[in-house]
Structure 1
Amino acid sequence: MKILVTGAAGFIASHLCEKLVSMGHLVFGIDNFNDYYDVKLKEINASDLVNKGVTIFREDLNADLKSVFENQYDYIFHLAAQPGISAATPLHEYVDNNIYATQNLLDSVVKYNPDLKLFVNIATSSVYGKEATVNETAIPKPASYYGVTKLAAEQLVLSLKIEGKIKACSVRLYSVYGPRERPEKLYTKLIENLYYDKPFPLFEGSIYHERSFTYVGDIVEGLAAIIGKEELVDGEIINLGTDEVNTTQEGITAVEEIMNKKLIIDNQPPRKGDQLKTAAIIDKARNLLNYNPKVSLKQGLQEQVNWYFEKFIN
C-alpha cells in the first residue's frame, strides 16, 4: 500500500511512519518543519525516516499540493496540526494550521486522489473539554483554541464522508507520551529539568490532574490496525488511549525514581484550557481494531528516559 502521513517529522507521526514501513508499506511523509519547537529535533526524526525508506515532502499543507499527489495513495493519516494550549499561540495559527490546512488537504484528495481507500483524521480528547471521561457519543465541549479547531477539522473530514466524496474516520488520542515527545510537553521537559537540576514549572492544581497517559507505541499499533478495515471504520469516531489512569504526581514520581533524582518545583498560576481529568473509554477501539494497550506508565517512561539520554546526553 502507498500511504501518506502528514506531520511526518513530528512525534507521533514519525513513529507511525516507522511502523508502516515495518509492515511493508510504501510510506510518504509531508511536513513543513515549522519552528513551533526546535527544528533540529524534526530534522533528526526526518533523517531517521529517510534512512528507513520514507520519502519526505517539505511542504506546507496550505500550499498547492499537486506535486505531493503525483503519487496515488491508498491511505492518508492526517496528524499535522498546531498543537498545545499555550497562551502565546494566537488563534489565527490554530485556524490556519488545523482548519484551513485540513480543508486544503481534503480539497487536494478529492481533486487528485479520488480512489483513496480511507482518510484517517487524527483528533484529540481535548474536544471533550475539561473532563474527557466519556465515549464517542458525548457532546464535545472544547475549552481551548486547540480543542475547538481540532474539532472543526474533524467535522470537515466527516462532512466530506457524509457527502460521499471520501471514506474517512477520526481517531481521538489521549495524552500520548514516549520517545520524541515534543520538548515543551510534560515528560520531555520533566526529564530535561531533572537532569540539569532546573526548576520545573508546575501549574497550580495540575499535580492532581488525572490522565490516560498513553505510550506512543500503543497508539501507533492502534492506528496501523485501521489498515484493511476501511469498511468497518468508515464514518466512525474512535477513542484511542489507555484505560490506565494516573495523576501528574504519579508521573513525576515515576520519572524521579527512574532517574534517581528529586525535582525542583516552580509553582505557576493555573493554565487556561487545561483538562482536569481524562480517562479513555476505548470499547469501540477494542471491538473494531482489536486494540489492546500494553505498556504501563513506568515502562513507557523508562523508554523515554533512555531515548533522551541517547539523543541528547550520551
Structure 2
Amino acid sequence: MKVIVTGAAGFIGSHTAERLHELGHEVIGIDNFSSYYDVSLKKLNAKTLSEKNIPVLKVDIRTGHLEDFIPSDIDFIFHFSAQPGISSDSTFEDYFSNNVLGTQRLLDLIEKRTKKPFFVNIATSSIYGLVATLNEDDAPLPASWYGVTKLAAEQLVLAYSRRNLLQSTSLRLYSVYGPRERPDKLYTRLIDCGLNGKDFPLYEGSGKHLRSFTYVQDIVDGVVSIIGNEEVANGEIFNLGTEIESTTAEGIATVESILGVKIEMEIKPSRAGDQSRTQANIDKARKLLNYNPKTSLKEGLEAQVAWFIESFT
C-alpha cells in the first residue's frame, strides 16, 4: 500500500513511518519542521528515514499546496502532525491552527478526490481531561488548549465518516516515551539532567501523578494494526497505551537506577491543565485490534537511555 505519514520527522511519526516501511508499504513522510523544539533533532529523524528510502517532504499542512505532495493514489494517511503538549510558550492560535485548521485542510483535499485514503487520526488521552481513566464512550472533559483542539480535530475527522465522505478512525495515545522522545518531555529531560549534572525542573505535585507510560513501539503496534482492520475501525475511537500505572516519582527513580546517579530536582509551580492521572482502558482495542502492549517501563527506559547516549554523547 502507499501511505502518507504527517509529522514524520517527529517522535512517534518517525517510528511509525519506519514500521510501515518494514511491513512492505511505500511510505511518504511530510513535516513542517516546526521550531517548537530543536529543528536539528527533526532533521536527524528525517535523515534516518531517508537512509531507509523513506522520503520526508517539507510542507506545512496549514498553508502548503497539499495536492503537490500527497499523490492521488494514497491508500492510508496516518496523521501525527500537531502542536503538541502543554506549553506556556504556545498560544491558543498555535494549537488551533496546527491541530484543527491543518486537519481540516487534509480532509478537504481528500473529499475532493475520487480515491479516498483511510484516515488514521492520532489523538491523545488529554482529550479526557485531568483524570484520563475513561473508555471511548465516556464524555471527554479536556482541560487544556491542547486537549480541546485535539478533540475538535478528532470530531472533524469522525464527522466525515458519519457523512460517508471517507473512512477513518481516531487513536487516543497515552504518555508515550522511548528513543527520539521530544527534548521537552519527561524522560529525555531526565536522562539529559542525569548524564550532564543538571537539575531537573519538576512541577510541584507532579511526582505523585499517575501515568500509563507506554513504550513507543507498543504504541506503533496499535497504530499499524488499523491496516487490515479498516471495517471494524471505521468511525471508531481507540485508546492505545499500557494499563500499568506508574507515578512520575517511580519513573524518575527508574532512570536514576539505570544511570547510577541521583538527579537533583528544581521545583517549579504546577502547570494549569496538567493531568493528575492517566490509565489506558484498552478493552476495546484488545478485543477489536488484538492490541497487547508488553514492554515494561524499565525495559523501555533502558532503550531510551541507550539511544540518548548514542545520539548525544
Give the equivalent residue in structure 2 for 1:275: 275
Q: Name the CA distance, whole Å, in 1 between partners of 2:72 and 2:160.
A: 21
Q: Name the CA distance, whole Å, in 2 between partners of 1:52 and 1:106.
A: 29
Alpha-carbon displacement from aligned partner over 1:153-173 (angstroms, at most 9, x marks no partner): 001000011111000000000
SS of aligned partner of 2:306: helix
SS of aligned partner of 1:255: helix
Preserved CA contact (<8 Å) 2:95 2:146: yes
Give the equivalent residue in structure 2 for 1:164: 164
Alpha-carbon displacement from aligned partner over 1:252-305 (angstroms, at most 9, x marks no partner): 000000000001100111111100000000011101111110100000000000
Q: How does 1:144-293 map to 2 (within 5 A)?
A: 144-293=144-293
Q: Which amino acid aligns with 1:147?
A: G
Give the equivalent residue in structure 2 for 1:69: 70
How far the C-alpha of 1:116 sits from its partner, in A, is: 2.8
Q: Name the CA distance, whole Å, in 2 between partners of 1:157 and 1:285.
A: 19
Alpha-carbon displacement from aligned partner over 1:220-261 (angstroms, at most 9, x marks no partner): 011111101111100000000000110000000000000000
Q: How does 1:106-117 map to 2 (within 5 A)?
A: 106-112=107-113, 114-117=114-117
Structure 1 residue runs of 4+, over 3 Å off? none
Q: Name the CA distance, whole Å, in 2 between partners of 1:94 and 1:140.
A: 18
SS of aligned partner of 1:238: strand
Give the equivalent residue in structure 1 for 2:58: 58
Give the equivalent residue in structure 2 for 1:97: 98
Q: Name the CA distance, whole Å, in 2 between partners of 1:106 and 1:17.
A: 20
Identity %: 55
Alpha-carbon displacement from aligned partner over 1:145-187 (angstroms, at most 9, x marks no partner): 0000000000100001111100000000000000000000000
Give the equivalent residue in structure 2 for 1:299: 299
Q: Tell me which moved more, 50-59 or 295-304.
A: 50-59
SS of aligned partner of 1:149: helix
Q: Which amino acid aligns with 2:92?
A: L
Alpha-carbon displacement from aligned partner over 1:60-105 (angstroms, at most 9, x marks no partner): 0012201112342101100000001111211000011000000001
Q: Which amino acid aligns with 1:69?
A: I
SS of aligned partner of 2:220: helix
SS of aligned partner of 1:226: coil
* Structure 1 unmatched runs, 5+: none
Give the equivalent residue in structure 2 for 1:127: 127
Query: Please, what TM-score do these two structures have when normalized by structure 2?
Result: 0.98
Q: Name the CA distance, whole Å, in 2 between partners of 1:288 and 1:263.
A: 42
Q: Name the CA distance, whole Å, in 2 between partners of 1:175 and 1:271.
A: 17
Q: Name the CA distance, whole Å, in 2 between partners of 1:219 and 1:182.
A: 16
Q: Which amino acid aligns with 2:39?
A: V
Q: Name the CA distance, whole Å, in 2 between partners of 1:50 and 1:110.
A: 30
How far the C-alpha of 1:22 sits from its partner, in A, is: 0.5
* Structure 2 unmatched runs, 5+: none
Preserved CA contact (<8 Å) 1:117 1:230: no
Q: Name the CA distance, whole Å, in 2 between partners of 1:165 and 1:142.
A: 27
Alpha-carbon displacement from aligned partner over 1:174-225 (angstroms, at most 9, x marks no partner): 0000000000000000000111111111111100000000000000011111
Q: Which amino acid aligns with 1:11?
A: F
Q: Name the CA distance, whole Å, in 1 between partners of 2:239 and 2:288.
A: 11
SS of aligned partner of 1:170: strand
Q: Which amino acid aligns with 1:301?
A: L
Preserved CA contact (<8 Å) 2:194 2:263: yes
SS of aligned partner of 1:70: coil
Q: Name the CA distance, whole Å, in 2 between partners of 1:260 and 1:71.
A: 52
Preserved CA contact (<8 Å) 1:178 1:215: yes
Query: Please, what TM-score do these two structures have when normalized by structure 1?
Result: 0.98
